[in-house]
Every structure is written in structure tokens, then in C-alpha cells.
Structure 1
Amino acid sequence: MLRSPSRKTRLGLAAAGAATALLAAAGAPAHAAELPEGGVPEALYRFAVSPDSTAGANDFSCKPTAEHPNPVVLLPGTFFNHGANFVKAGPRLKNAGYCTFAYNYGMTSISADRVGGLGSIKASAQELDAFVTKVLTSTGAKKVDIIGHSQGGSVPMWWIKKMGGASKTAHYVGWAPSSRGTSLNGIVALGDSLNLMGFVTGISNVGQFPGVIDQTYTSDYTRELFPNGSNDVPAGPKYTVISTKQDRVVTPYINQTLSGADVNNIVLQDKCPWDAAGHIGLFNDDPTLQMTMNALADGPKTFNPVCKGYGVPFL
């Protein structure tokens, strides 16, 4: 006849079980805390203090996973830097498991290491090519995903169309890209809007900077990139363009569209009618981030974001 274990034995077994559980917990890998997403106050701070630092970006020891095989390259807009432009996108991508990288292109002697996009776009595309090569070499990946805001959407377009970048790009996501040009008044409006928000560019005459002039409808750059008003892009990458009806910079917003084998042109207000985010406001607009993440994950083109967390209105 089996006897039930004594109280002393039961206590010993319980203690041993507890010790085993503690040892297992100690040996288990700790989960890193998620990076907080920033908004306008952090963007202002980073613009001035850490223009070359985006939370979650530029860890060159990062290795892509099977779930996210393509490192993501972030390119900011004119007069911005990636420290300010991607305070929301950088952490979200990193928290989702992407290897994320960011680059400040078009810096010149008068940029004060903060104001980007002043150099010629063709020269900036050469910088991008070198940066992508560095990213691919360090990660071992074959292709990158690119997210570009405004001129940050035009620089990779030159690289894709004119420098063979299509073969190295899996996904292209343009936030109000200026690839097909705008008026000079639109660029001046951008500078004025940034100054209103507190991003002091120190720029009084935008006409002297080639990266600005390249973005006009009439520039040699625009005519060479998209001749005769065309909007075609080469096959290979999957293209997503997110535009806003409230854009006062790259106008008219419908000229931001692309055409090609795998292109998804999205108007923000067609998804979220009450979202008043403007050209600048896409940087912290949550529906824009949701649609960006959907594009990188090869989600459905009919994806509808949750309509909340809107970006800076009208600017």
C-alpha cells in the first residue's frame, strides 16, 4: 500500500519546484522594452540636438529575420533631418522587428548638420547608393525597403530609375513625394511652415540651393526623371504613394501618383476623411504609419487603417 508523502516531503518537493522555476526564468532571454514613439515636441528637440539620431535606427549589427528580410532605409524631407522626421516611424519599425536605417542626404556647408536636402538630388542619389551598399553589406540582405518623405521620395526615385536601384529595392513607400515636381512657391511654403512649427531653417532665399530647385516642375532634373509629364516606374519594386489633399507643398497632390506593374496610389482622406494632416503632418500621422507598415508586409492594397492619431493638420 502506497503512503501519501509526509508534510516535510511535500515542502521539499515544492521548494525544489520553485527553485527549478526560478532557474528557468533566469535562463530565459529578457524581452527588450518597446521604444516609445515620439511626436512634435521630440521632433523639435531632435531637429536641434540630435539630427543624426533616430530611435531604433542605424544598428549595423542588426540582422534581418525571415519575417522581415529587408532592412528599411528612411529618408527625410527637404529642410528636415532624420532625427526629427522619423520620431514616430523609427520606433514603430524597430518594435515590429525590422532592421532600420536612416540617412541625412544633401547636407552642405550651410546645413549646420541639421538642414538636409540642400545639395543636388543627383548627388544625393549617389550618397544613397553608397549608404544602401553599406546597409546590404552589413546585414547580408539582397534588397532594401525605402520610406521617403517629400524630397526623400524623389532621391530614391532617381536611384531606382537611373542608377539600377530597382534591382536592390523590394518596397518603395513615398509620403507626399516630390519626384514629379512642384512650384517654387510650394517649397517656400514648406520653409515658412517649418518656421511656424519651430524648425528654424535659417533660409531666406531658397533659390540658391540645387536640391530645392531640382524639385520644381520646370527643372532639368524633373524633366529628365519623368519626361513629358510621364509617371511610369520600372518593374521590380512594389510602390506605394501616400498623398494628402491638404498638401500645400507638393501641389497639386494628384501629381504625386505613379504608374507601373505594382503601384498603389493612396489618398489619405479616401481612407480617413477627417484626417487633416498636411504635407509635413504625414511624419506623425498614425493612419499613414499603419498603411506604411501594411505595404512593407505585403498586405492588401485595400487595407483600411484605424482612423485616429492624426498628424499635424494643414501643414
Structure 2
Amino acid sequence: MLPETPRRPLRRALRACAVLLLAAAATLVPGAAATAAPAQTAAVSSGWNDYSCKPSVRHPRPVVLVHGTFGNSVDNWLGLAPYLVKRGYCVFSLDYGQLPGVPLFHGLGPVAESAKQLDAYVDRVLAATGAAEADLVGHSQGGMMPRYYLKFLGGADKVNALVGIAPSNHGTTLLGLTELLPYFPGVGHLLNEKTPALADQVVGSPFMTRLNEGGDTVPGVRYTVIATRYDQVVTPHRSQFLDGPDVTNVLIQDRCLLDVSEHVAIGLTDRIAFHEVANALDPDRATTVDCLSAVS
């Protein structure tokens, strides 16, 4: 018999589960392709994932977009990718963390293995564009996972900047869901067995411990974190921020108090966050980010 649990933690856990389902559903859009090939075609026709693109003098590095948990290389970037292409960037996006028999929803495999996929993809982009380095922009897990690539797989030699939008840099409590794990024997094992990326992102997991021991950053890379105080998935939201040299931590409400984006919206549709990304990619030409950025 399970121990009696307080109602409030149970409500919080249910709410967290609902948030995860909503985050997954939010990555799908009406008319989204049922297979990867049409989706990639749509991306190329929109100006990104075009391997004939050559970086300009103004923007000499390609931008690699790294989706979040439950995301994919197209649906996660229907807002930001065209925004950056319009501003003259060569933009690319990858799928990673695929599980057998699970179409469209990616970012579910072990995070360390996903970092190896990112490593191979960055090499492919650099070879195609002729650039010496890339810039990385990731949402949620996609803002955290590249740090493993930078720290343990030699990525720091190939990357100029990492921009994380609502990244799970120090793990998450998932609104208290993990506090309930001791009451449900076997659930932690189920997470590891079925969706390793979720287990890796729990506060205090072996993966998180290894990633963050010895410091958050590595030399030679500029880091930017863009967070929202209304994040309901990576909690508490300030756990997203990094410590170290060459780090800029941004709370989006400091740029526009009226911005109410939560975890999903800040990566998918928030043009104030998009403006902050553009500034992070080109700090020498940075412009003021405020509420008017929502319509610029």
C-alpha cells in the first residue's frame, strides 16, 4: 500500500504531467507532415536547412538550432528559423534523441548520446558551409545538451556561442513531480527505460551531476541564457542561469514586463526572445530589446 500523500503535491504532479503533454502537443502544427521528408522539404523552402547557403561577411558563422524534449527539427523552429534567415543567417536544424517507433517527437534518448548526434551534425554543417565555427541556439533540453558536447566531445573548438532559451541547465523539479518518486517504486526505473532524457534532466541525476561538476562553462565559448519567470517546466526558472566568464543571463520580463511567455511560447513564438537571440549572435550590432520587439 502506498503511503498517504498530501493533496497539494499530487495536484502539482498532475499539473506537471499535463504541462509535458501540452509541450509535446505544442510542437505539432495544423497540416504538419506525417513523415520527415516533407517536413525537411518545407524547411528548405522556408530558407533554412539549405546546404548551399554560404555565410556572409556580416554573419560569418552558420546557426544550428537544437530542439527541445518532444520537439523536432522543423516544428520547434517555425518561428525563430525564418526570423534568423530574414536577417541574413545560414540556419540549420537537426533531429536528435529519436526512439524506435516514436515519430515526430524526439529529444527522448539519453542526453549524452544526443550530444554525439549534435557533434556529427555540426561537423556536417561546417563542411558544407566552409565555416570554421558555428553558433548554437537551443530550446529547453536543446539549450542544455550542447554543453555536454562543448565540455566532453571537443565542441568548444568548433563553437563560438551557445544561446539557450529556457534551458534545463541544472535540471528541473518538474513542479515537484520528482519529489513524489519515492512514493512510487519503479517509476524512476520506468523513466530511465522509456524516456532517458527526462530522467537525465531531473535535478541531481547522475547526468546533471557530471555535466555541472567543475563549472558551468568552458573557455572560448560565449554563453547566453534567456529565461522567463513564468516557466512551468524548468523550475525554478533561475536554475537555468549559468555562472562563469563570458555568460549573459537574461530574464525576458526585464526586457518587457508585459511578456507572459511560458516554457513553450518563449521558444516557439516570442519575438522579444527572438530579438535577444539575434543580439546574442551578433553582440557588436545589438539593439535595444523591449516590448516593441514583439512587433518588429
TM interval, short-chain normalised: 0.7 to 0.9
Q: Does 1:268 align with 2:259?
A: no
Q: Secondary structure at the match of 2:136?
A: strand
Match of 2:111 in 1: 121
The match for 2:197 among 181, 190, 211 is 211
Unaligned runs of 5+ in 1: 1-39, 189-204, 311-315
Per the alignment, residue 218 of structure 2 pairs with 234
Q: Does 1:157 align with 2:143?
A: no
**Cα deviations across residues 128-160 of structure 1 (Å, max 9, x unaligned)?**
000000000111100001000000012211001
Contact 2:223 2:247 in 1 (8 A): yes
Q: State which of 263, 279, 291 in structure 2 corresponds to 1:279.
A: 263
Q: Indicate if the aligned counterparts of 1:111 and 1:118 stay in contact, CA closer than 8 A.
A: no
For residues 97-136 of structure 1, the aligned pairs below 5 Å read 97-112=88-103, 114-136=104-126
Partner SS state of residue 32, structure 2 = helix
The CA distance in 2 between the partners of 1:105 and 1:67, in whole Å, is 30
Q: 1:138 to 1:302 in 2, by over 3 A?
A: closer
Which structure dedicates a bigger proportion of its chain to helix? Answer: 2
Other structure's SS at 1:46 match? coil
Q: How does 1:63-102 map to 2 (within 5 A)?
A: 63-102=54-93
TM-score, with normalisation over the residues of structure 1?
0.74
User: Which structure: larger Rg?
Assistant: 1
Aligned counterpart for 1:58 among listed residues 46, 49, 52? 49
Kept in 2, the 8 Å contact 1:43–1:85? The answer is: no
Could you say if the C-alpha distance between residues 69 and 186 of structure 1 is closer, same or farther in structure 2, counting changes exceeding 3 Å?
Answer: farther
Which residue is 1:140 aligned to?
A: 130
> Take 2:238 and 2:276, find their aligned partners in 1: how far apart are those partners?
18
Matched, 1:177 2:163: no
Residue 48 of structure 1: how far off its partner (Å): 5.1
Does the CA-based 8 Å contact 2:227-2:252 persist in structure 1? yes
Question: CA, structure 1 residues 187+138, in 2 after alignment: closer, same or farther (shift >3 Å)?
Answer: farther
Q: Given that residues 279 and 287 in structure 2 are in contact (C-alpha distance below 8 angstroms), is that contact kept between their aligned partners in structure 1?
A: no
Go from structure 1 to structure 2 and tell me whether the alpha carbon gap of 1:60 and 1:174 turns closer, same or farther (over 3 Å shift): same
Consecutive unaligned residues of structure 2, counting only runs of 5 or more, are: 1-25, 179-189
Match of residue 7 from structure 2? none
Structure 1 stretch displaced more, 148-157 or 230-239: 230-239
Equivalent residue number for residue 15 of structure 1: none
Q: Residue 258 of structure 1 contacts residue 265 of structure 1 at CA under 8 Å; is this kept in 2?
A: yes
Structure 1 contact 74–148 (Cα < 8 Å) conserved: yes
More deviation in 215-224 or 298-307? 298-307
Q: Structure 1 residues 251 and 82, CA, compared in 2 at 3 Å: closer, same or farther?
A: same
Whether 2:246 is the aligned partner of 1:250: answer: no
User: Is the 2:110–2:196 Cα contact (8 Å) retained in structure 1?
Assistant: yes
Paired letter, 1:251: T
Aligned-pair Cα RMSD in Å: 2.4
- The one-character-per-residue Cα deviations of 1:253-309 (angstroms, maximum 9, x if unpaired) are 101111222110000111111110000011210100011011111147894334453
Q: Is the 8 A contact 1:291 1:305 kept in 2?
A: no
Structure 1 residues 186 and 96: alpha-carbon distance in aligned structure 2, compared to 1, 3 A threshold: farther
How high is the TM-score relative to the length of structure 2?
A: 0.78
The 1:97–1:42 alpha-carbon spacing in structure 2 relative to 1, beyond 3 Å, is farther
Cα distance between partner residues in 1 of 2:94 and 2:234: 22
Q: Which has the higher contact order (CA 8 A, sep 6+)?
A: 2
Paired letter, 1:142 = A
Distance 1:236 1:289, change over 3 A: same
Runs of 4+ in 1 over 6 A off after TM superposition: none
- Rounded Cα–Cα distance in structure 2 between residues aligned with 1:172 and 1:302: 19
The Cα shift of 1:71 comes to 0.2
Separation in structure 2 between the aligned mates of residue 295 and residue 176 of structure 1, nearest angstrom: 15
